[in-house]
C-alpha cells in the first residue's frame, strides 16, 4: 500500500515507522529539513521537503497513485487543505487529518467535512481524545491508563505497583489459584522502561507498570488486588486553561455528584475568558509554580491535580510541587518523550501522551477488516487489538496452549454471546468471538494469519 504522511513530527514519525515496518510504501512530507533528516536517518521511507498542501509537492510525493494520505502537520489548515487537494486533484481514496482547534469541530458545522465540501474521511482531535482519557482515569483512581473494548464489557487497565501491593513477588500462574473468580489476564509489564511480555513464572516487582485485560465489572476489585483502593476525587485542581483544561473543567462541572474544581491559568485574558464560560469552577490567574498560588488553589486538600498546560516543564514541576504540598495524586500532560523516564521517580502518578493517544486513534481507523479498536503501548512497542475471529482462522477450535501463538502474543479476553471469557490454556476460540489480543511490534503479520483477520489497511 502507498501512503503519504504529511508532517514529520512525533506523530508523523511514529505513523511512518508503523506503516513502513509492515512493508508499506511510505513518503513523508515536511517543510522542516531537520525533522526530515531525523525521519531519513531512522526509517526506511522516502522524504520530500515542502508544504504538504501544495499540489506540486503532493504530486512529487506520488499522490496520483497513493492509497492513503495522513495529514498530521502542526497546522490544522495545512492538514485540511492537503486532504482537499489530495481528493480534488489526485483522487486519493482515504484521507485523514489531525484537527486541534475546537472551532472546526462544533457539531453544528460537521457538514464542513462532508464529501461535497471538504472530503476528509477521518478527523482526529487530540484535545478531545486527551480529555476522554483523563475522564476515564478519574473514574478509576490509581490507574495510569484505561481503555474500554467490546462496547465497554472489557477494559485494558495499566497500574503502577507500590511496595505494599499484596501480590508482589507472586508468580503470575498463581494469581488464578489465589483469585479463581477474578476475570483478568496480565498482558504487558514495563520494568525500568523496558517491555516485558509476561510468562507464567514471571513475578511482579515494586514500581512495575502492569497492564491487564479485565472484565469491566471486575475493575474495582482488580484495583484493590493491585494495591489501589483510592476513592474517586471530589476536589480537583487543573493547571492550564487552554482547550484541554477548559473542556475538562466543563465536563467535571456536569458530573454528579458535584466535584469541586479550581483552575490555574497564567494568562490574564485567557483566565477571564474561562471564568466567564464556566459556572462553578473557581479560576485563579497566576503561576502554577508559585507556592502561594498552589495554596490558594487548595492543593493541600485536593485528591488530584491535572496539569495540562502547553508547557511540559510547568506540568511536571507543578505536579511535583502539588504532591509535596499534600495533593494525593498527580496527572501530567507530557508531549516530549524524553521526559518519560522522569515521571515515576518524581512521584507523578500518570503521564498523558497526546502523541500516543493520537497514534492509537489513527491506527484504529486505518486498520481494516474486522478490526474494532486499537491501542498502542509504550510508543508502539505493542498493540492491543480488538477484532472478530473469522471462520477460516487457524486458531478456531484449537486450545490456546496448542495454538502456537507467536512469542509475546497473548489473548487477553474473548466476548462470546455478550459474555466475557478470560481464556486459559484449554480455552478454544470460536467463530465470531470478539477477541482482545496483545501483539508485540513485529508480530502483526503472524497474528493476521492466525486469526484470518486483515490487520492491513483500507
Categorize the per-residue pLDDT at 172 as very low, low, confident or very high, splitting at 50, 70 and 90. confident
Q: Compute the chain's Rg from CA coordinates.
A: 23
pLDDT of residue 344: 84
Residue 96: beta bridge partners?
Answer: 70, 122
| Mean pLDDT estimate for the chain | 89
- In tens, the pLDDT along 233-290 reads 999 999 999 999 999 999 999 888 889 999 999 999 999 999 999 999 999 999 999 9
C-alpha cell at position 7: 508532517
Q: What is the mean pLDDT of residues 43-50?
A: 96
Does residue 453 surpass a pLDDT of 50? yes
pLDDT of residue 379: 72
Cβ atoms 326, 291 nearer than 8 A: no
Pairing of strands 235-239, 350-352: unpaired
Closest CA to 300 of 316, 322, 317: 322
Fold for 357-451, please state it.
Answer: Alpha-Beta Plaits (3.30.70)
Does residue 77 surpass a pLDDT of 80? yes
Phi, psi of 405 (to 5 degrees): -65, 145
- In tens, the pLDDT along 355-400 reads 888 888 888 777 655 677 888 887 778 889 898 887 777 888 989 9
Q: What percent of the chain has pLDDT over 70?
A: 96
pTM summary value: 0.84
pLDDT of residue 47: 97
pLDDT of residue 141: 87
pLDDT of residue 437: 93
Does residue 334 surpass a pLDDT of 80? yes
CATH 3.30.70.1450 boundaries in the chain:
357-451
Does residue 12 surpass a pLDDT of 70? yes
Positive or negative torsion for Cα 430, 436, 439, 444: positive
pLDDT of residue 393: 78
Q: Is CATH 3.90.1150.10 correct for 235-352?
A: no
pLDDT of residue 266: 96
pLDDT of residue 283: 97
CATH 3.40.50.720 boundaries in the chain:
2-124, 235-352
Q: What class has domain 2-124?
A: alpha beta
Q: What is the mean pLDDT of residues 340-356?
A: 88
Cβ neighbors of 454 (< 8 A, separation 6 or more) are: 368, 369, 370, 371, 448
Q: How far is CA 346 from CA 13, 50, 316, 356, in A?
A: 28, 40, 9, 21
pLDDT of residue 454: 46
Cβ neighbors of 123 (< 8 A, separation 6 or more) are: 96, 97, 99, 105, 113
pLDDT of residue 423: 92
Closest CA to 238 of 127, 318, 358: 318
pLDDT of residue 427: 93
pLDDT of residue 370: 62
Amino acid at each position: 500500500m502507498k501512503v503519504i504522511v504529511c508532517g514529520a513530527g512525533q506523530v508523523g514519525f511514529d505513523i511512518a515507522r508503523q506503516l513502513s515496518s509492515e512493508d508499506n510504501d511510505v513518503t513523508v512530507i515536511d517543510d522542516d529539513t531537520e525533522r526530515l533528516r531525523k525521519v531519513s536517518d531512522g526509517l526506511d521511507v522516502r522524504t520530500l521537503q515542502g508544504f504538504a498542501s501544495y499540489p506540486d509537492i503532493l504530486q512529487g510525493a506520488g499522490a496520483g497513485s497513493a492509497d492513503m494520505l495522513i495529514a498530521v502537520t502542526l497546522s490544522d489548515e495545512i492538514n485540511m487543505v492537503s486532504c482537499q487537494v489530495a481528493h480534488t486533484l489526485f483522487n486519493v481514496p482515504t484521507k485523514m487529518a489531525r484537527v486541534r482547534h475546537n472551532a472546526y469541530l462544533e457539531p453544528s458545522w460537521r457538514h464542513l467535512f462532508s464529501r461535497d465540501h471538504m472530503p476528509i474521511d477521518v478527523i482526529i482531535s487530540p484535545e478531545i481524545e486527551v480529555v476522554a482519557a483523563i475522564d476515564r482515569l478519574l473514574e478509576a483512581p490509581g490507574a495510569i491508563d484505561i481503555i474500554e473494548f467490546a462496547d465497554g464489557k472489557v477494559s485494558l487497565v495499566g497500574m503502577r505497583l507500590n511496595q505494599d501491593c499484596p501480590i508482589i513477588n507472586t508468580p503470575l500462574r498463581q494469581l488464578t489459584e489465589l483469585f479463581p473468580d477474578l476475570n483478568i489476564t496480565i498482558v504487558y509489564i514495563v520494568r525500568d522502561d523496558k517491555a516485558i511480555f509476561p510468562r507464567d513464572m514471571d513475578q511482579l516487582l515494586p514500581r512495575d507498570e502492569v497492564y491487564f485485560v479485565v472484565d469491566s465489572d471486575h475493575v474495582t476489585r482488580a484495583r484493590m488486588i493491585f494495591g489501589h483502593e483510592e476513592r474517586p476525587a471530589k476536589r480537583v485542581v487543573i493547571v492550564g486553561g487552554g482547550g484541554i483544561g477548559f473542556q475538562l473543567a466543563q465536563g467535571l462541572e456536569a458530573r454528579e455528584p458535584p466535584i469541586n474544581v479550581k483552575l490555574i491559568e497564567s494568562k490574564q485574558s485567557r483566565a477571564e475568558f474561562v471564568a466567564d464560560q464556566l459556572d462553578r469552577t473557581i479560576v485563579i490567574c497566576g503561576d502554577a509554580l508559585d507556592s502561594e498560588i498552589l495554596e490558594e488553589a487548595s492543593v493541600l486538600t485536593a485528591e488530584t491535580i491535572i496539569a495540562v498546560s502547553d508547557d511540559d516543564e510547568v506540568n511536571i514541576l507543578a505536579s511535583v510541587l502539588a504532591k509535596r504540598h499534600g495533593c494525593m495524586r498527580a496527572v501530567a500532560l507530557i508531549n516530549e518523550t524524553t521526559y518519560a523516564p522522569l515521571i515515576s521517580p518524581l512521584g507523578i502518578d500518570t503521564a498523558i501522551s497526546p502523541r500516543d493517544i493520537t497514534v492509537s486513534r489513527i491506527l484504529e481507523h486505518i486498520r481494516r477488516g474486522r478490526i474494532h479498536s486499537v491501542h498502542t503501548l509504550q510508543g508502539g512497542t505493542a498493540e492491543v487489538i480488538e477484532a472478530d475471529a473469522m471462520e477460516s482462522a487457524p486458531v478456531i477450535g484449537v486450545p490456546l496452549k496448542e495454538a502456537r501463538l507467536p512469542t509475546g502474543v497473548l489473548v487477553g479476553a474473548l466476548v462470546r454471546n455478550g459474555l466475557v471469557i478470560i481464556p486459559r490454556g484449554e480455552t478454544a476460540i470460536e467463530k465470531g468471538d470478539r477477541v482482545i489480543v496483545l501483539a508485540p511490534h513485529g508480530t502483526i503479520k503472524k497474528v493476521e494469519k492466525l486469526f484470518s483477520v486483515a490487520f492491513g489497511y483500507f
